[in-house]
Amino acid sequence: MLRPQTAVIIDASPLFRESLAQLMRQESTFGTIVETGDKHLGMFYMDRFNPDLVILDLHMKHGVGMELLRYTQNTFKDSRVILMTDRDDSEELMTAVHLQADGYISKLIEVDELLSQIRRVAQGEVVVSNRLMTALTRAFRGESEEGYERDLKVLTAREKDVLKCLAIGMSNQDVANYLNITLGTVKVHVKHLLKKMSFDSRTQAALWAKDRGLGI
């Protein structure tokens, strides 16, 4: 049985973060859960607990959410990061996708679905709420219309297999298990396909592939 995971929640809304923390404490997936609306206290909690999961409010004032995302990625490379939003702002979401969080979850969904998506991120998947998928897909289509048009023909057969796995949200370890290859090989394939198709992140690649009906 996997050990309970530690999570830090940093969100400007006291009601949301306190309610979410209470709900997560009832889940066997999680152990220590701490929450705050303050940037510096959030950093202190991360330094103290070295969390498995960090849940951030994308829309905190003065760009604090994005700042904390960068701080987490630079300091706690094994921590998985979820960005929470109550908007469908494609421009801001696109900026977040380029920074490569592990989850992009809407606050405007049912509680059971919210907890399910958080669990999936904690277990290694890359998750995007369906209502955010539309905004991101629209933004990616706009990018293609304005400039580079991607072509699957540049990929090897194995790279296409990996891309299909990314399209359904598989983690690198899931891909390795499914394709019966090593984790290191998966990372190499991901790196190559991102470069060949000019993707900024694996999340961008996954959304692009999903929009085109790719998948296992």
Residue 119: φ, ψ to 5°? -60, -45
14 inside domain: yes
Query: Would you say residue 216 lies in a domain?
Result: no
Cβ-contact 58, 85 below 8 angstroms: yes
Measured distance CA(149)–CA(127) in Å, rounded = 25
Element (H, E) at 96: helix 90-98
Regarding whether 118 and 195 lie in a shared domain, the answer is: no
Q: What is the mean pLDDT of each run of 10 residues along the chain (216 residues)?
A: 86 96 93 96 96 94 89 90 81 67 89 94 85 67 56 92 89 90 93 89 81 77
134 shares its domain with 162: no
d(CA 211, CA 85) in angstroms, rounded, equals 21
Q: Give the pair of three-digit tokens for residue 120.
A: 């999936």
Helix, strand, or coil (residue 97)? helix
What's the CATH number where 10 sits? 3.40.50.2300
Say if residue 44 is in the same domain as residue 72. yes
From 111, 139, 167, give the residue that closes a domain.
139
Q: Looking at this protein, which amino acid is placed at residue 90?
A: S
Query: Against a cut of 0.85, is the pTM above it?
Result: no
DSSP letter at 153? G
What is the number of domains present in the chain? Answer: 2
Phi, then psi, of 107 in degrees rounded to 5: -75, -15
3-class secondary-structure state, position 172: helix
Quick one: which H or E segment has residue 7?
A: strand 5-10
In a domain, 144, yes or no: no
CB distance 173 to 124 below 8 Å = yes
In order, the DSSP letters of 126-142 are: -EE-HHHHHHHHHHHHH
Q: Compute the distance between CA of residue 163 and CA of residue 191 in angstroms, rounded to an integer.
A: 11
Q: Which phi-psi region, left, alpha or beta, contains residue 124 (left: φ > 0; alpha: ψ -120 to 50)?
A: left
Last residue of a domain, one of 101, 116, 139: 139
| pLDDT at 147 (0 to 100) | 46
Please tell me whether residues 58 and 95 are part of one structural domain.
Answer: yes
pLDDT tens readout for residues 180-197: 999 999 999 999 999 999
Structure tokens belonging to residue 122 = 């904690």
Structural domain that includes position 107: 5-139
pLDDT score, position 59 = 86
3-state secondary structure of 5: strand
